[in-house]
């Protein structure tokens, strides 16, 4: 089941949603269905520096920055 990032065109809320089959997600804030799919960023282990392995192992920030935390909104 893929996790997608969306932004609601009605209220501007950014959120993630697990999408199952043909299920259509709705905004958790306003229950709107006018959503725009965002380009997601994900971490990959590259076998490089220790900061790369720290990000891949879940260290640092939720955005993948090993120096986190950042200002990601809920």
pTM for the complete prediction? 0.52
pLDDT digits (tens, 9 = 90+) for 28-69: 999 999 999 987 666 555 555 554 444 444 455 656 666 655
pLDDT band for 74, please (50, 70, 90 cuts): very low
The CATH-assigned architecture of domain 3-56 is: Single Sheet (2.20)
Mean per-residue pLDDT, 1-29: 90
10, 11, 20, 63 from 5: Cα distances, Å: 16, 15, 14, 12
Segment holding 16, helix H or strand E: strand 14-18
Domain boundaries in the chain? 3-56
The two tokens of residue 7 are 């932004």
First to last CA, the chain: 21
Backbone angles phi, psi at 56, to 5 degrees: -70, -25
Q: Residue 64: name the closest of 53, 74, 73, 14 by CA.
A: 53
């Amino acid at each position: 089941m893929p996790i997608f990032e969306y932004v609601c065109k009605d209220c501007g809320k950014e959120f993630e949603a697990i999408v199952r089959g043909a299920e259509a997600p709705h905004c958790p804030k306003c229950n709107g269905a006018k959503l725009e799919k965002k380009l997601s960023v994900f971490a990959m282990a590259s076998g490089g520096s220790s900061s790369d392995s720290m990000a891949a192992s879940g260290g640092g920030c939720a955005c993948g920055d090993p120096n986190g935390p950042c200002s990601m909104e809920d």
